[in-house]
Amino acid sequence: MTRPAPQPARRRQPLAAARPALLLTLVVGAGCAVAASVVAGSGGLWAAIAATALVIAFFASGALPVVLARYLPSNGMAGAGVLIVTYSLRLALIFIVLGVLTTADGVDTRWLGLTLMACALVYTLTYAVTMFRENAQRGGTPAATGGPE
């Protein structure tokens, strides 16, 4: 008797795949907010909250091109165009918000930068580890490096 071929596992939705990274980023952002409020007062607190919100908004909006690609024609250039435009808009918005925050009087720029770096690093590392583990559980093989064997 023959067994049916196993079906490939479906990939999770972009936001569901990013959930562990978002939650850990919130925890790190809350820790930075507590530390900033103790060290720098309310200016540090608001800077840490703003930086955490910026990191979460930037990375969570990264799923936008994936969602939009479902409604585009299968031409590769349309997807690349959406990716470039949305990424450029996200960067522009981040730079505008950072420009406003660094000139505001009630925001401690040191804690803004520290929290921004900590949250971005934690999000990136957590997301990468989550994706590597998920790929390993599916039995996926890493792509060939193209080097001599």
Report whether 79 contacts 69 (CB < 8 A).
yes
Choose among 90, 24, 84: nearest CA to 57: 90
Q: H-helix or E-strand containing 83?
A: helix 76-103
Report whether 109 contacts 46 (CB < 8 A).
no
pLDDT at 21 over 60: yes
Report whether 112 contacts 97 (CB < 8 A).
no
Residue 64 is predicted with a pLDDT of 82
DSSP state letter for 74: S
Stretch 77-98: mean pLDDT, rounded?
A: 89
pLDDT at 149 over 60: no
Kindly state the percentage of the chain with pLDDT values over 70.
81
Residue 147 is predicted with a pLDDT of 44
Q: Is the dihedral of CA 126, 20, 57, 66 positive or negative?
A: positive
Q: How confident is the model at residue 5 (pLDDT cuts 50, 70, 90)?
A: low
Q: Per residue in 26-63, pLDDT tens?
A: 999 999 999 999 999 999 999 999 999 999 999 988 87
Residue 4 is predicted with a pLDDT of 62
CA 134, chain centre distance (Å): 17
Q: Per residue in 103-124, pLDDT tens?
A: 999 999 999 999 999 999 999 9
Mean of per-residue pLDDT scores for the chain:
85
